[in-house]
A and B are shown apart, each in its own frame.
Chain A
Amino acid sequence: MPNNIDPALLRGLTQRRLGRRDALRMGGVSALAMALAACGVKGTGTPAASAAPDAVAKFWADKASTKHVDFANWPLYMDPKKPELKKFTAETGISVNYQEVIQEMGPWFAKVQPQLKAGQSIGYDLMVITNGIQFGQFKDSGFLAPLDHSKLPNYAANAAKSYANEAFDPGNQYSVPWTSGITGIAYDPAKTGREITKLADLWDPAFKGKVGMFSDTQELGNFGMMALGVDPAKSTEDDWKKAAEKLKEQKSSGVLRNYYDQSYIDALGKGEVWITQAWSGDVFQKNVSDGTNFKFVIPAEGGTIWTDNFAIPVTAKSPVDAITLIDFFYKTDIAASLAEYINYVCPVPAAQQQIKTDASKLTGKEKTAMEAIADSPLVFPVEADYSKLHYYRDFPTVAEQQAYQKIFEPIVLG
């Protein structure tokens, strides 16, 4: 729910505006004109600025451990009992305050942007952010601390090498992967009454008022494009407009129920939607924790693959402990334990063997379930799986990104 402002306060302000209208008159025109001409809002940085060579040394020089980390993450991204964090605290003596405060990238950037711009702490030393428009905004604004890779030995030893080549952060200067995931379709087979296999099912009038889509403009636009057979990574402005038309049709025909952030999984659980755009690991976790029987499918036309990344805000109070925690998650057994629960794509390939070893110690149903995770294409995709997946569109210029937003924002804001 995007309600960051106390609505009672907002309501109060609206009422007073009328009651005290005389204040406007008293304000005087001259003061108004003066204030109007006052300089604009300062920008947060230069777009596409790359890190200076000594940036790493400069940032880390005066930083020391405080034995505490404030960690901001998305919901459904860790076992609620937090076994990995408990182990971390036991081994290092660093306490972790773990908060599931990120529901969608746009609101998260808008929320922390003013503090970061003012050089103030956002209250978190570590956050998990998705590649995409806001990742670029974080990076270009100079809001992300350059990572000192000498402090990441486990990462160097265990992480899949392909992550260093991702276009949004080449060489992992500012971020390392928490996990990757696939955007596909989740559905409740009991309600739909049939298997869902393709994107066209999201436009099927049989599910009138029961279809959910993401409110994130990139997620939404990607599915519009793929439904038209366009690869989002190679799309043009023309494709965006056509995709927008396709998405508008879904809304005007009444098939669409609503656009959701992370709350889509709750809507699926409550039966508000029967079929919805979804992130790969969530359905698995929902089924485990609530005993539901939902299904996740990568549509025939393809799904998208994205990466959620660890990043340290420049204003972090405890970056040293944050980077220690990052590296801890690249230990093979910790990566395995996390993947076993969240069922998202694991950035540590060796964890697959670890999960198989863990499975061999179990018996019966638990063993089968654990073996299924080790073999799941959603956790350890092989080459053939990747061929079905599309990457996000990169926006080299701000103008392009704004053009994209102008096309898809009005759809979400209906």
Chain B
Amino acid sequence: MSTLRRNLAPYFLVLPGGLWLLLFFAVPMITMLSLSLQQGDVVSGFSFTGHWQTYTDAIVNYRTQIVRSLIYGAIATIALIVLAFPVAYWIAFYGGRRKSTYLFLLLLPFFVSFVLRTISWRQILTDEGMLLGPLKSIHLLPADFHVLGTPVAVIFGLIYNFLPFMVLPVYVALERIDPRVVEAARDLYANPATAFRKVVLPLALPGVFAGVLMTFVPASADYVDSAVLGSSSTTMIGQVIQAQYLVNSDYPTASALSFVLMAVLLVGVFAYARALGTEDVMKVAAR
């Protein structure tokens, strides 16, 4: 009896997670795949016809938005690395006793809902708002100058909203570095730059990789930042999918686009892992 229980225990442990995945991941995925191959309209109904052309049509019609989303996502991710690395580095090595306070301060704005924060930025950046209004009234900027509705505003929103998702993994990786390793490098006549490049950076890389995963993927698929801060010339693919589902009730196109986006992101992420040279980097990142 007790051996049986012991043998079954791991399965019972995995059961809740497994069921959760089945219900909220596998089932929706299959439903979506089926939907993407159906034809019809919302009034007379959709029926399964195996119509793969929806995919080609979706890609042809919305390639601009797919490419645009990837570019925005990539720019935001690179900017995030540049911004987050020094912050994480400083907190990890010079934070001292106040490390957790600094981390808390970093996270503090994120206790407010994602959408609300983005809408607040809209108020700040608006054409006659507290930022641009005074500059316009003293004629430093032309009257039709605007930030909202431009790619700059959207990418700025992405950077702002995903900052902690880059800082935290990088911080975790840096925090684990034993200061004595760096000291050893200095003792062996490495100058500070070399010590950083040869010792700190390679050890921090798994953190950066995890950060990229956690920012590039959702940033490219994001639709809130562009909907709130952008305009029709900054439409991202997430907005197209949202509109096809929730405005036009064109479920097949929406589902097909979701799969295309997922495929593109998966390919991108694996290519990136390969390029980094460490096939184990996923494992390292999950450490």
Residues of chain A touching chain B, judged by Cβ–Cβ distance below 8 Å, are 1-5, 7-8, 10-11, 14-18, 20-21, 23-24, 27, 31-32, 35-47, 104, 106-107, 109-111, 113, 137, 140-141, 191, 207-210, 251, 256-259, 270-272, 398, 402, 405, 409-410, 412-414
Q: Which of A45, A104, A208 sits near B144, CB closer than 8 Å?
A: A208
Contacts of A272 in B (CB 8 A): 126-127, 146, 148-149
B227 touches A (CB below 8 Å): yes
Q: How far is the CA of A322 from the CA of B216 in the complex (A)?
A: 49
18 A–B contacts from the bound complex (CB under 8 Å): A2-B246, A3-B224, A7-B114, A7-B115, A7-B224, A17-B25, A23-B25, A40-B34, A41-B251, A43-B43, A43-B46, A44-B44, A45-B43, A45-B44, A106-B248, A141-B42, A270-B129, A413-B62
Q: How far is the CA of A413 from the CA of B237 in the complex (A)?
A: 9
Contacts of B191 in A (CB 8 A): none
A26: min CB distance to chain B, Å: 8
Q: Which of B26, B45, B234, B240 sits near A40, CB closer than 8 Å?
A: B45
B184: min CB distance to chain A, Å: 35
Q: How far is the CA of A402 from the CA of B47 in the complex (A)?
A: 17
B61 touches A (CB below 8 Å): yes
One digit per residue, 1 when the CB lies within 8 angstroms of any chain A CB and 0 when it does not, for chain B 134-158 equals 0000000001101011000000000
Q: How far is the CA of A300 from the CA of B37 in the complex (A)?
A: 47
B65:A36 contact, CB within 8 angstroms: no
B33:A110 contact, CB within 8 angstroms: no
Q: How far is the CA of A84 from the CA of B239 in the complex (A)?
A: 39
For B36, the closest partner residue in chain A by CB is: A36
B262 touches A (CB below 8 Å): yes
A11:B233 contact, CB within 8 angstroms: no
Contacts of B148 in A (CB 8 A): 272
A398:B218 contact, CB within 8 angstroms: no
A14:B33 contact, CB within 8 angstroms: no
- Can you list the 7 inter-chain pairs with the closest CB atoms, starting with the nearest? A43-B45, A40-B47, A414-B232, A271-B128, A258-B231, A41-B46, A106-B247
B232:A251 contact, CB within 8 angstroms: yes
B231:A270 contact, CB within 8 angstroms: no
Within 8 A of A (CB), among B218-237: 218, 221-224, 227-228, 231-235
A23:B21 contact, CB within 8 angstroms: yes
A18:B232 contact, CB within 8 angstroms: no
B40:A40 contact, CB within 8 angstroms: yes
B48:A14 contact, CB within 8 angstroms: no
B33:A20 contact, CB within 8 angstroms: no
Asked if A2 meets B47 with Cβ closer than 8 Å, knowing A32-B33, A209-B144, A209-B146, the reply is: no
B30:A36 contact, CB within 8 angstroms: yes
B269 touches A (CB below 8 Å): yes
A8:B221 contact, CB within 8 angstroms: no
A132: min CB distance to chain B, Å: 13
B239:A44 contact, CB within 8 angstroms: no
Q: How far is the CA of A137 from the CA of B45 in the complex (A)?
A: 12
Contacts of B231 in A (CB 8 A): 256-258
B35 touches A (CB below 8 Å): yes
Asked if A15 meets B232 with Cβ closer than 8 Å, knowing A7-B224, A41-B35, the reply is: no
B246:A35 contact, CB within 8 angstroms: no
**Residue with the greatest number of chain B CB neighbours at <10 A, chosen from A16, A32, A409:** A409
